[in-house]
Structure 1
Amino acid sequence: MDLHDGNTYAAAALPGIIAGLKTCGFRLVIVDTLLADDLQSGAVFYGLGGAAESRP
């Protein structure tokens, strides 16, 4: 498996990186899950279901 830059070492490291993130409490989701809600232009979201902060 190659990533976009052809670095096979990065691809081999992914399972460990993902496991480490999950251990730290991160939850990985696909982009479709993130975009399920109506997004507002300029809004910053800090988590799923969280409040959005609009930029002026």
Structure 2
Amino acid sequence: MAKQMFRALVALLLTLPVWLYAAPRVITLSPANTELAFAAGITPVGVSSYSDYPPEAQK
């Protein structure tokens, strides 16, 4: 039992840096959320077809 817990802990610690440095991927489903994401400095990877502001959201 202790050996399995140790292996699980080692596996978790080895994958931790991947979680910390992975870029967040955001998809917004409403125009209001799109505006909030851009205001927070987050560029969504996908937006709804109704999102037209800011102009970068249409790209």
TM-score by length of 2: 0.27
More helix by percentage: 2
Greater share of strand: 1
Q: Structure with the greater relative contact order (CA < 8 A, sep ≥ 6): 1 or 2?
A: 2
Relative to the length of structure 1, the TM-score reads 0.28
Larger Rg, first or second structure (1 or 2): 2
